[in-house]
A and B are shown apart, each in its own frame.
Chain A
């Protein structure tokens, strides 16, 4: 058993079996359906949150078989990094089941939850995967940081620096990253939460750009985190591995980001669930993360709130919660834009599916993360309210609720309401949500309460239990 796999990973990257990337992909497309059949993984669009423990366990085994057979593909060397079952099982068993995020009075502990758990979710927010304008980015960050139910903050991304497009690898990338890290830290201070965990600065594409976010005074610290990414499916490269190597040595939390594509190389929902489990194992072996982002996405629509996306959350989350100590999080990507009723219903569905499956929550990306400034603190508050109201809810009850919630947005999923950006939803001087956005939030909360979810009271209980 090793605490630092980096030298071994490089060795295996150099001497592992050579396979052109296109052939790796085709081998994966052939193996996944075989495993789906062998392990009897069935997607039922009417049962989006299955209560089938045995299927969850079979799914875990299918994901393990996939990872052991395919390994991780190192795009830099065009070789497969292979591991034995014993190595993977040991590393999974040794992975953290609880991590302390942030520092001082603002720190939270994210711990293993289990299926249908009463253990409160840790809720991250921030402009998750959604680009921001230079002008509104600091305000959006503060609107999120000042939400008491938000436990951690994502610094998000801005694609310009002083009005100029940021060219990856150029000095503007370094300067932009430093500005964004400092903006997140300043937003935390202004919100009275200087120690809140900041989970990544998403602007940079290069390794050097990512590392430029770190600074003990004004940037990200050891109590914060940076993402290390997988490439779909089951791929990495030396650039990503180098990030992991640096962050491990620096003692900064690593977050394993995966984006398996529903309808992509893994095929439909069942195959993508198998791939997603395998991706978690890849993350454990290659990156030694503190936690994972379960970031699967519809191949054509950049969302995870359609039926297949919800099922993949529910069944994959259960597979991981029942068979590993791993800490994994939802990242709810909606079709609808900000300020719409549909965006709130989509968030509710994704949050419910993830919570009962044992997951924590990493943030909301409205418009599939495509439209600038479609993030505010209020929908992140709603995300937390639904998460806390879903604690201890049975999978069967949650399934009924999700099917009911789907009726509120499924009809417009292919042609979603575009919504409006942050400055049309918040008073930008006081950073208070405007009346119509607050009213909409309240109305959807009331409708969820009428369905039986304790969205008004559950978060109070969680706060009391945490001693806040």
Chain B
């Protein structure tokens, strides 16, 4: 069990988006013999879930969400090192390769999804914006991803999500990955029509969807 005072210190650092304080609090907790996996599951993830809900309700805004995400990422590095040193398996829920589809340069929505997935225990490989179908495929294979997540804001770019899925089918890699889509131009009907494994209307739903897809 983690000392409640130290857990509260880590929570406060995460909520206030103070990466340096989060690292200090994580180190102090480890020195006090806290289980790093317990810290991730019972302090980091619930705190960031709460921050994500506040963002979804517009009680806080993107800068606060980004700062909390950065703080969580910094603390996770320390905690993962401790897990590895103890010879235990990583706490990651799975790897998500994430990008904005070809020709689409809008990435704020994708970045929010990246922050929330990371802070919920996924390993996120963000391959950026304007990503070619072949680049999604190459990254998914290289990173041994469980999930490929594509975002498209523009109506004129959403066909690229379909082209990407087609490429995965063509090279017989479709069954190796779960493929999900989201973004302003995409809805559930389009996701179904192009054969995606899931659709998320917002960042919080993307986290729920990914958890369902990896069975966690």
- Chain A positions near chain B (C-beta within 8 angstroms): 25-26, 29-30, 32-33, 75, 131, 157, 159, 165-169, 173, 203-206, 231-232, 237, 261, 263-265, 267-268, 271, 299-300, 302, 370
Contacts and interface: CB of A to CB of B under 8 A. Distances in A.
B49 interface: no
B215 interface: no
Contacts of B102: 168
A205 B108 contact: no
Please report whether the interface of chain A is mostly helix, strand, loop or mixed according to DSSP. loop
A29 B56 contact: no
Please report whether the interface of chain B is mostly helix, strand, loop or mixed according to DSSP. loop
B103 interface: yes
A168 B63 contact: no
B62 A265 contact: yes
Contacts of B157: 168, 205
Given A26-B66, A300-B56, A370-B184, A264 B61 contact: yes
Interface of B: 56, 58, 61-64, 66-67, 70, 102-106, 108, 154-157, 159-160, 162, 184-185, 202
A263 B61 contact: yes
8 contacts: A165-B156, A166-B156, A168-B156, A263-B58, A263-B61, A299-B108, A300-B202, A370-B184
Given A26-B66, A169-B103, A267 B61 contact: yes
A226 to B, nearest CB: 16
B155 A29 contact: no
A271 B62 CA distance: 12
A265 to B, nearest CB: 6
Contact of A203 (B156, B159, B184): B156
A242 B202 CA distance: 34
Contacts of B61: 263-264, 267-268, 271, 299
A261 B108 contact: yes
Contacts of A32: 63
B154 A205 contact: yes
Contact of A232 (B63, B103, B108): B108
A32 B160 CA distance: 35
Nearest to A298: B58
A206 to B, nearest CB: 8
Contacts of B159: 165-167
A168 B58 contact: no
A29 B156 contact: no
B184 A168 contact: no
A402 B118 CA distance: 41
A231 B105 contact: yes
A29 B62 contact: yes
A326 to B, nearest CB: 25
A263 B108 CA distance: 11
The 4 closest A-B pairs by CB, nearest first: A29-B63, A165-B159, A168-B103, A159-B155
A370 to B, nearest CB: 7
A263 B66 contact: no
A296 B67 CA distance: 23
A29 B66 contact: yes
A268 B185 CA distance: 25
B184 A302 contact: yes
Nearest to A168: B103
A206 B154 CA distance: 13
Contacts of A265: 62-63, 108
A205 B98 CA distance: 22
Contacts of B162: 165
A299 B156 contact: no
A131 B184 CA distance: 12
Contacts of B62: 29, 261, 263-265, 267, 299
